[in-house]
Homo-oligomer: A and B are copies of this chain.
Amino acid sequence: MKKGMIKVSAFYPNGDGSTFDMDYYCNKHVPMAKSLLGGALKELAVDKGIAGGMPNSPSPYLAIGHLYFESIAEFQNAFGPHAEKLVADMPNYTNTQPVIQISEVQQ
C-alpha cells in the first residue's frame, strides 16, 4: 500500500467466550461497509487470527479488519455519516469490543 495512506484497523480480541462470525463479517458486514463508504475506501483487508507467537499459543485477536483511505479527512467524511449503522451491525458478528487503531502506512 502507498506510503502516507491512512489505515484504520479494528482488532477483535480473543478470550474466553469471545466470538467472531467470519462468514457474516466477510459476506454481510464488509459489503455493507464498502457500499456505505464508497470511493473513499481505497482497499479493505481481513485477517483471521490462527496463532500467537509462542508454540500452541492462541492468537491475540480473533480477527482484524483494515480499511485504507487517502487521508484522515477522507476517512472522517466517509465514516462519520455511517458510523452508527456500521457499529449497530457489530453484534451480528461478534460479542467483543474491537480495539481501534489509526495508522499511517510507512511501506
Binding site for B on A (CB under 8 A): 1, 7, 9, 11, 22, 26, 30, 44-54, 59-61, 63-64, 98-107
Contacts and interface: CB of A to CB of B under 8 A. Distances in A.
Tell me what chain A mostly uses at the interface: helix, strand, loop, or mixed: strand
Given A1-B45, A50-B102, A53-B101, 14 more contacts: A9-B64, A30-B107, A45-B107, A47-B105, A47-B106, A49-B102, A50-B104, A51-B101, A52-B100, A52-B102, A59-B101, A59-B102, A60-B100, A61-B101
Contacts of A47: 7, 9, 101, 103-106
Number of this chain's copies in the assembly equals 2
Contact of A48 (B63, B64, B100, B103): B103
A95 to B, nearest CB: 18
Given A22-B106, A47-B106, A101 B7 contact: no
22 contacts: A9-B47, A9-B64, A11-B60, A26-B106, A30-B107, A46-B105, A47-B103, A48-B103, A48-B104, A48-B105, A49-B101, A49-B103, A50-B103, A51-B101, A51-B102, A53-B101, A54-B100, A59-B102, A59-B103, A60-B100, A63-B106, A64-B101
